[in-house]
Amino acid sequence: MDIKLHYREKGSGEPLILLHGNGESSAYFIHQLNYFSKWYRVIAVDTRGHGFSPRGLEPFTIRQFAEDLRCFMDERRIEQAHILGFSDGGNIALIFALKYPERVKRLILNGANLNSEGVKPSVQLPIVAGYKLTSLFTKKSPKAQMKADLLRLMVEEPNIKPEELRELSIKTLVIAGTKDMIKEEHTRLIADSLPDAELVFIKGDHFIANKNSLDFNRAVLSFLSLRENSKRSV
């Protein structure tokens, strides 16, 4: 890998890797890092070009971010991990799981989407407009280029077909807010397309892991510890 990804780590036990959303950083998961470290080795990663991770020279795409994750795990000799991805992080997690299913023990998709049509128009239309406008200034401004790169991820990616999900046998939690920016029918489509998925809606918007961390964490822990409830209390 051409860069070193910055990350935060806390706890011990089975690895639980956290992937943040577009324009965010590992700091988004402060409530999860503290909570889940009581039972897991929690690793919150800054995606390429986010937080303290450098941009590097590789393509700025969801699929490249998934490859970065593979390299990150290889460097730390993590053969398999639970992976929780939020928003674009959920899209990275899904792409990673489709390509490297043997590396994922359990998968948590929070506010993920298969394509831009899964986002509510009230959110997506301003993103598209912002991308078109910012793209006009990319040759003159590195800052505009970075912003355009981030917006492009939400306009053109990840483009996953629902039928691709039917090949994924990993036990998966699909979780979203009751007032999420992802259309409810799209979230249900993801869950319905996965052979072994549980669907949960938590009161709140797209950012339930941060704004309603108590309910979110309990739902995730319940999912992760289905066969070990006697060992853990929420």
Percent of the chain having pLDDT more than 70? 97
Angle at 110 between CA 108 and CA 111, to 5 degrees: 150
Of 110, 118, 106, 74, nearest in space to 92 by CA: 110
pTM value is: 0.95
Q: What is the pLDDT of residues 162-189, one digit of tens each?
A: 999 999 999 999 999 999 999 999 999 9
Q: Tens digit of pLDDT per residue, the chain (234 long)?
A: 999 999 999 999 999 999 999 999 999 999 999 999 999 999 999 999 999 999 999 999 999 999 999 999 999 999 999 999 999 999 999 999 999 999 999 999 999 999 999 999 999 999 999 999 999 999 999 999 999 999 999 999 999 999 999 999 999 999 999 999 999 999 999 999 999 999 999 999 999 999 999 999 999 999 998 764 433 433
141 and 102 share one domain = no
Give the CATH number for residue 185: 3.40.50.1820
Place of tokens 């200034």: 137
pLDDT score for 227? 62
How many distinct structural domains can be found in the chain?
A: 2
Q: 150 and 45, same structural domain?
A: no
Segments forming the whole domain that contains residue 60: 7-115+159-231
Instruction: Clarify whether residues 32 and 93 are in a common domain.
Output: yes
Euclidean distance between CA atoms 86 and 207, whole angstroms: 9
3-state secondary structure of 34: helix
Is residue 2 assigned to a domain? no
